[in-house]
Structure formats: C-alpha cells, structure tokens
Amino acid sequence: MLRFILRRLLQMVLAFFGTTLIVYALMFAGQGDPIQALAGERPVTAAQRAYLTEKYHLDATGVGGFFYRYFDYLGSLVRGDLGQSLTGRQISDILAAAWPVTLKLAVIAMAVTVIFGVTAGVIAAIRRSGVFDHATLVVTLLVLGIPTIVLAPLAQYFLGVRWPIFPPTAGAQPSFYALLLPGIVLGSLSLATALRLTRTSVTENLRADYVRTARSKGLRRRRIVGVHVLRNSLIPVITFLGVELGNLMGGAIITEGVFNVPGVGFNLFRGIRTEDGPLVVGIVSVLVVVYLLSNLVVDVLYAVLDPRIRYE
Amino acid sequence: MRVRRLAAWAALPLAVTLGLTACGSGGGSGGASNPDAAVRIEIAEPQHLVPTNTNETSGSQVLSALFSPLVDYDEANKPHEVAADSVTTSDNKVWTIKLKPGYTFHNGEKVTADNYIDAWNYGAYAPNGQNSSYFFEKVAGYDDLQGETPKAKTLSGLQKVDDLTFTVTLAEPYVDFKSMLGYTAFYPLPEAAFSAPGVLAEGYEQAPIGQGPFKMKGSWQHDAKVEVERYDAFPGQQPKVGGVEFRIYQQPTAAYADVLSDNLDVIKTIPTENLSTAATDLGDRYQQSPASSLQVLAFPTFQEEFSKPEVRKAISMAIDRDEITKSIFKDSQQPARSFVSPVVAGYRENTIGTAGAFDPVKAKAVYEAAGGPKKIELSYNGDGGHKDWIDATCNQLKANLGVDCVGTAEPKFADLLTKLKQKQPVGLFRMGWVMDYPSMENYLGPLYSSTGSSNYYGYSNPEFDKLLAEGARAASEDEAIKKYQAAEDLLAQDMPVIPLRYGQNNFGHSTKVKNVHVDLFDRVDLLKIEIA
C-alpha cells in the first residue's frame, strides 16, 4: 500500500510540472496587453507601463522569453513564493483568504451530493420502477438540463429575494447558513449524476450472483444491501465524486459570482477578466494540486473497497 | 388522541408568543432608526487605495470617504474650496494654494503644505509607477522625474511658503488647474504614510490614513469589504451617518439582489439585465442622475476611405441616435450631438449641426457623392455589452446608406487599442470617455489634439491645437470657454468621431436610506446620504 502511494506521489510531481507548463503557455499565448487590460479603457502612462513591464518581465517575449519567464516563475514557486498579482498583492495572501471559503462551499456541496444523491440512488435502485424511482428520474433530468448559470440566479431570486428563506448573497466571512443555498445549487448538478450512477450500479449488483448466494444463505436484506452491495457499488460513485471535488473547487466561478462568495472562483474570474497572468497561473497551479490529491484519495479508496486493486 | 389534542392547545399560545416576539423585534429595529448606523454601499474590489495610484471608481469611492479634496464642484460643476482656504493665481501659471487651518489626519498629525508636496512628488516620480502620475504633467519639472533613472526626485514647481501655504508653478499656463485639484490624485498624505522620504510605507494601503470625514475601521478586507467610521475631529461638514461599509461585489447582479431584499443600501450601477424591471422592483428608489461619460464611434482618419469629412458626416447622418437610445438602452442613456458632455460649463447643444439630424436620403446622396467605402466594419470590445447597439447601428447603415456593414468584436478594449496603435485597419471603432475633472478641455485635449494621450484616430489639426493652447492660457474661464468652443466647432467640421450618447447614472437604494446622490464620478455623496 505504501509503495502504491509513493509511486502515485512521484507521478504527481511530473503531472504538476506538465500542467503548469501548459497553463502558463496558454496564458502567455492568450495575453494581449495585460497592462492595458488592467487600466480598462483609460490610457496607460509611459511611466506606469515601464514600471509594470520591468516588474513582470513583460518585455521578455517570444519563445526564449516564454521559457525565461516560466523558469523564473517555477524558481519562485519552488521557494514557495507564488509571486504578486498585477495589482501588487501577494497571491499567497489572496489564496489564503479565498481557499477556506471555497472549501466550506465545496464541503457543503459534497455533503448535499452524498447525503441526498447516494441515499436516493440506493432507494431508487431497491424500489426500481416504483413511484420514487420515476420521480427522481424526472427531477434529475430537469436539474441536469438546467445549467448553473440559470439555476443559480433563479434560486437566488426565488429563495433569496421573493421568499426570503436564505440570504440572497453570502458576502464576507459567510456563515454556514449563508453558504447553504450556494452549496445546494453547486451540489445539485453532481447530485443528479451521483444519484443516477448509484442507482445503476446498485441495480446491477442486486442481480449479481453473490447477492443470490447471500440471500440463499439467509442473510438479512439490510446486511446484503448495506454491506455487500453498497461496497461494490460505490467504486464508480467514488471515482465520480473524487473528480467532482476538483470540479467543485475550481468550477464554482458562476456560483461564487452570483452569490458573491469571495472564494477561489471569484478571484479566478477577476484574474481572467483583467488578464492577470500571475494570479490565474497561481490559482490554477493550486487547483492542479487539489485535483491530483483528490485523485490520489480516490485511488487509495479503491484499494480499500476492492482488495484486488491493492495487489496490482 | 387526547394527548395529541392537548399538545395542539399547548402549541398554539407558544406559536402566538413566538410570532409576537418576532414582530416586536422586527418593528423595534425598523421604527426607531439609528442615525449613527453605517450605510452599506456596493463597490468592486479596488485596485489600489493610494490617492495617486487610484483611477478607478471603486477605489476613489473609498478614498472620497477617507480624504477631503482641496476643491469640490457645485451644482453647475464649477470648483469651490473645501480643504483649501483659497486657490488663487494672477497669470494661470503660478497658483497659490492656502489650506484651511484645523484639519488633522486620522492619526492626529496636523495637515500642512508639506503633506501635499510630499504626496504629489511621490505620485509624479516615475519609478513609483503610480497610475495617476500624468495628472502632474502640467507642473513645472515633471519631465525631470520621468524615465528609468530620473534627474530629480521632486517637482521644481512645488514650493512651500509657510505651514499652510504652497505655490504650484505650471510649465504652461492652464486656466482649469483649479478644477483639476478636485481629482483623487491631489489628496495629501500624512508623514506616517512614508517609511523614508519618497518611499511609501508597506501596509499603508491596507489602512489608509486620510484627513477626511471618515477614518478606517480596521483594515481593507480584500474581496470582502472596507469599513470606515465617522472621524469626529473633522473640521468640515460632518456626514449624517455613523459610517460606511463598502461591500465588494464581483457581479452587479448579486448586489442588485441584495438591494431588493434590503441587504445592501446602495447599488451605484443597476446591471443592464435588470434595467427594464428596476422601475417596478424599486419604485422611486430607482433613480437617475447625469454622468460624464460620452460614447462615440471613431474613425481611423489615417485610412484613405475615411479621410474625407463628408463621408464621416454622411455616416453620422445615417444613424438614428434617438431610436437606438430608446429601444436598446431603454433611455438609460441620452442621445449626444456635441463633443463635450452637458455636465461641463461651455457645453452647447447640437454642435455637430446637420450631421446630427437623422436624414437617410441626404446621407445617402452625400455618401455616394463623396465616394464612401462600399463596406464598413464597426469594431468594438466584446466584453462591454456593446454588441446590441453596434448591430443596430450596422443595420441602420445597411438600410440607409446601402452599404455592407459588419460588427467585429475584439476580446477586450486593450486589444482594439493595440491594433489601432499599429495602424491596422479595424474600420470604425467605439470609444468611450469619462472625464477626470469638469472642464471642456478634458473632453478635447486628450482626445483630439495632435499629441493627445487618447488620440487613436490620427486626427491632427494645427488650428485646433492652437485654439486649445490659447484656451489654456486665457485670462479667465469664460474666455477659455470661448476658445474651446471655437475648437469644438473645428471638430464639428472635421468629424473625427461621431458623438452618439451621453451616459447616466442609474442607481438604486434600499428602504433603509434616503437622500442618495451619485455624482459625476460615479461616487455616492457620503455627506448627503442619511438613514431613513
């Protein structure tokens, strides 16, 4: 097991450098004139331009310039310095403020997904073709069909403004309650997928030979479903949830914007809009680490759930 | 059965009591309003909170609470003294600024002439990379502070006379200098702002110390809020609220939802998608006031096909401004037919004359006689919500001039400017202008003079340049305005750009505040706002 984790960790280092190189290259290629983007529609003074150009090595252009800037960036990254955003703030400070909020949001979304999605999936599978099964099918199709960009403002308008059950926005240092609505919105998409996935997987396993064997041995139904079926059915669900955790971290751009949650997505959006290269690359680098770590956790969980995987 | 009924009877009074308590507490906080409470105003995350480095509205909204300007503007947008006792000159070149006594910074330091001189020198010194550095370019000695290794560290034009008086010598006479002094860049900085002479202390920006009606409460909480509270030792006009919480929003729609549910007090710009319902959502809490912005379609006059003024005028004549303002902007902007905004002294209605009157028949005749191009391209930045009106304009040009017209979106305005600087053919392009201080010159000089910082059209008219220079040297503001108006008339003949629309502030507020005013700089007037 330990060797397995070590090998995965080594692979992560390579993956990390590969992805940051790609992200950096994309940002470098897509960058028009970041100094002008920062100033919006106002003219930029020569002094300001010279100052920022020198500070961020923006005069280093072309292929040579790219590698110069990339290695410069990597050098500071290895020293634990994420650098400064174009507005002069330390990116590590920005992230330190943004991560806890996004993490809270993701945890709520994840909890919503697991509690409602997996439970409802199991129930739907056991009572296949029943009323509950059909009802959840309709609801999940509906939720899957509405993109977050529509769902979030709708939820905000109806549950925040028209019938003020939740506060319409979360704002600074949001309470658990204020994050609940954005969390539910964020979680609802993966909830639908998790539900369908669980249902299919459980249905299949209920028909498996070992279930028949267990039943014929006289095991109680609760034990069959709770231990035997669930353990085997959760492998695809956990794969999905693991990838989804990464998505929740980075993909909260829309939800965080609509509900004014000052998290990672909120900052990433601003960074992209103002062509703030250092900020975008900094955030994405950390996101890459999150993705890699959640994938590692998924793989370890595989091994826990299915001993055969452990010995490969 | 019996037990259940009993429970119901017991629950009823409990529910009633709970309901009453809820009403009671709600009514109590609503009825007896606390005038010293803080109001909550929406801003975006400021880029900087240093006066000479702040040139966007969110930052300057916060600084307007923390600082008191030398001059402010009255109803007619003429400057009057606030922190200054007097601003005088005899020749428009040497200006004497006397400060009112009694002003103190929030850390207790007295405000002296040195605080202004130090702050301005810091702002003008190029290696400090301040965004508003160019505001000092009219002051004598500015050039010596430029370049990578400047010759000097201080402006030779700034001289201290005594503790409360200093003089500013300009490189060239400039009649509107007093108006300029109202801009954010001209606030003073306390000694505590500097860690060494000319070096801004690390962390000053996180909790700026000013001499204004409000002081910082805690420090700038990035992406979340900036809180200020009333500074009781402020000698000027005291605000009517106890403090202000500037809440940071990334998306205006979120702020709008908060105003609807009284979670936020003021939204300065109602998002476009909510404009059509704002009047029903907010009633008389939806308000409009003049803004200084001017939207134009500009010509790359260096291109052969747009070099004739007749072609440019014909295109202007073929555009139905009123229709577009009404159907696309829902009257949230006003049609424009002059090169300066109605908010400045010297504005005249309809200076472009016949070119501004919608006349498709005449437009087509003039256009064909002058040999205008068969295909017109309108370039704009795709991130600013301009697509609708550009497409509408294109359709009008197609119908009225019989030309082929396409709207071309560039990802950002910066990309458009880069192309223009390289003189790439982009066709007509949209431009917007927001004034820095109320003066006709600010709408003319930077945009159309041969060396103007935002002259992207390649427009150059020596006579125009001469009139602007004469205006700046004029003995009085009225004489200056005459010169500027003559210059504007030249523009009307040459039409380097087509004026289209004047901007308006469209703002809204909650039921918890009253007397909300948004000024020409998109800032809420913090001295007028009150708790309702």
The pLDDT value given to residue B27: 36
Alpha-carbon span A185 to A143, nearest angstrom: 10
Of the candidates B119, B98, B102, the one whose C-alpha atom is nearest the C-alpha of residue B111 is B102
Structure confidence at residue B335 as a pLDDT band (50, 70, 90): very high
The one-letter amino acid code at B164 reads L
Q: Which of A41, A168, A275 comes nearest B432 by C-beta?
A: A41
A160 vs B contacts (CB less than 8 Å): 257, 261
d(CA B371, CA B150): 51
pLDDT range class, residue B120, cuts 50, 70, 90? very high
**Interface contact flag, A270 B45, Cβ < 8 Å:** yes
Whole-number pLDDT of residue B379: 93
What integer is the mean pLDDT of B68-76? 91
Helix (H, G, I), strand (E, B) or coil at B394: helix
pLDDT at B5: 39
Would you place residue B15 in the very low, low, confident or very high pLDDT band (cuts 50, 70, 90)? very low
For residue B13, the model assigns a pLDDT of 40
Q: List pLDDT tens digits, range B123-163.
A: 999 888 888 888 998 999 999 998 878 899 999 999 999 99
**Nearest to A250, CA basis, from A137, A99, A118, A111:** A99
Q: Please state which of the ranges A127-131, B31-35, B322-326 shows the lowest mean pLDDT.
A: B31-35
User: Which residue from A47, A160, A266 is facing B223, i.e. has the nearest CB?
Assistant: A266
Of A47, A88, A266, which has the smallest distance from its Cβ to B250's Cβ? A266
Give the minimum alpha-carbon distance from A171 to chain B in angstroms, rounded to a whole number.
Answer: 7
Nearest CA in chain B to A270: B250
Q: Assess B131–A contact: CB distance below 8 Å, yes or no.
A: yes
Alpha-carbon span B247 to B42, nearest angstrom: 5
Summarize pLDDT for B366-408 with one digit per residue, the tens: 999 998 899 999 999 887 788 999 999 999 999 999 999 999 9
Chain B residues with beta carbon closer than 8 angstroms to that of A32: 411-412, 414-415, 418
Would you state the torsion angle of the CA atoms of residues B101, B102, B105, B110, taken in this order, to the nearest 10 degrees? Answer: 70
Is the pLDDT score of B338 beyond 80?
yes
Query: Residues 464..523 of B with a Cβ closer than 8 Å to A: which?
Result: none
High-pLDDT (> 90) share of chain B, %: 64
Residue of B221, B256, B261, B383 to mutate, interface with A, max A Cβ within 10 Å: B261
The whole-number average pLDDT for the span B510-527 is 93
Q: Which residue out of B121, B246, B253 would a mutagenesis test of the A interface target, given it has the greatest number of A Cβ atoms within 10 Å?
A: B253
**Encoded tokens for A62:** 């072309």
DSSP letters for B46-96: PS--SGGG--SHHHHHHHHHH---SEEE-TTS-EEESSEEEEEESSSSEEE
**Inter-residue contact B378 to B430 (CB < 8 Å):** yes
Separation of alpha carbons A244 and A188, rounded Å: 12
Residue B155 is predicted with a pLDDT of 95
pLDDT in tens, chain A (312 residues): 777 788 888 888 888 888 888 888 887 776 667 777 666 666 676 777 777 777 777 776 777 777 887 888 888 877 878 878 877 788 888 888 888 888 888 889 999 888 998 889 989 988 888 899 999 889 888 888 888 888 888 989 899 888 888 888 887 778 888 889 999 888 888 888 889 899 999 998 888 888 889 889 888 888 888 888 888 888 888 888 888 887 777 667 888 888 988 888 888 888 887 777 788 888 888 888 888 888 888 888 877 777 776 655
The share of chain B scoring above pLDDT 70, in percent, equals 94
User: Do the Cβ atoms of B321 and B352 come closer than 8 Å?
Assistant: no
| CB-based contact B241:B230 (threshold 8 Å) | yes
pLDDT of A20-43, one tens digit each? 888 888 877 766 677 776 666 666
Q: In chain B, which residues have their Cβ closer than 8 Å to the Cβ of A257?
A: 250-251, 254
Helical (H) or strand (E) element with B354: none
Chain A to chain B, count of Cβ pairs less than 8 Å apart? 127
Question: Tokens 């490969």 correspond to what residue?
Answer: A312
Threshold 0.80, pTM exceeds: yes
Three-class secondary structure of residue B38 per DSSP: strand
Q: By the CB < 8 Å criterion, does B215 face chain A?
A: no
Average pLDDT of chain B is 88
> Quick one: DSSP state of residue B192?
G
Q: Is ipTM strictly over 0.90?
A: no
- On chain B, the residues whose CB falls within 8 A of the CB of A45 are 131, 133-134, 453
Q: What does the pLDDT read at residue B10?
A: 41
Query: Looking at per-residue confidence, does B528 or A11 come out higher?
Result: B528
Q: Which helix H or strand E contains B432, and what residues bound it?
A: strand B428-433
Residue B26 has pLDDT above 60, yes or no: no
Instruction: List CB contacts of B26: < 8 A, sequence separation 6 or more.
Output: none
Cβ pair B56:A33 closer than 8 A: no
Which of A51, A157, A273 is opposite residue B127, by nearest beta carbon? A51
Q: Which residues of A touch B258 (CB under 8 A)?
A: 168-169, 260
Q: Quick check: A37 and B223 CB within 8 A?
A: no
User: Which chain B residue shows the shortest CA-CA distance from A155?
Assistant: B257
Contacts of A167 in chain B (CB under 8 A): 261, 263
Contacts with A87 from chain B: Cβ below 8 Å: 47-48
Q: Is A92 on the interface with B (CB under 8 A)?
A: no
Sequential DSSP letters for chain A: -HHHHHHHHHHHHHHHHHHHHHHHHHHHHH-S-HHHHHHTTSPPPHHHHHHHHHHTTTT--HHHHHHHHHHHHHHHHHTT---B-TTS-BHHHHHHHHHHHHHHHHHHHHHHIIIIIIHHHHHHHHTTTSHHHHHHHHHHHHHHHS-HHHHHHHHIIIIIIIS-SS-S---SS--HHHHHHHHHHHHHHHHHHHHHHHHHHHHHHHTSHHHHHHHHTT--HHHIIIIIIHHHHHHHHHHHHHHHHHHHHHTTHHHHHHTT--SHHHHHHHHHHTT-HHHHHHHHHHHHHHHHHHHHHHHHHHHHH-HHHHT-
A47 CA: distance to closest CA in chain B (Å): 5
pLDDT over threshold 80, residue B219: yes
A3 or B207: which carries more pLDDT confidence?
Answer: B207
Interface test with chain B among A148, A169, A175, by most B beta carbons within 10 Å: A169
Chain A residues with CB inside 8 Å of B129's CB? 47-48, 50-52, 55
The rounded distance, in Å, linking the Cα atoms of B227 and B239 is: 15
How much is the pLDDT for B12?
Answer: 39
B127 in A contact zone (CB under 8 Å) = yes
- Tokens 């099964």 belong to A133
Chain A residue closest to B453 (CA)?
A: A43
φ/ψ of B244, rounded to 5, equals -135, 135
Cα distances from A135 to residues A128, A153, A289, B64, in angstroms, run 11, 25, 39, 56
CB contact under 8 A, A260 and B127: no
User: By the 8 A CB rule, do B43 and B61 touch?
Assistant: yes
CB count, 10 Å around CB of A75?
Answer: 10
What integer is the mean pLDDT of B242-248?
94
Please check whether residue B378 is in contact with residue B297, taking contact to mean a CB–CB distance below 8 angstroms.
Answer: yes
**pLDDT attached to residue B11:** 42
pLDDT tens, position by position, A101-158: 888 888 899 998 889 988 899 899 888 888 999 998 898 888 888 888 888 889 898 9
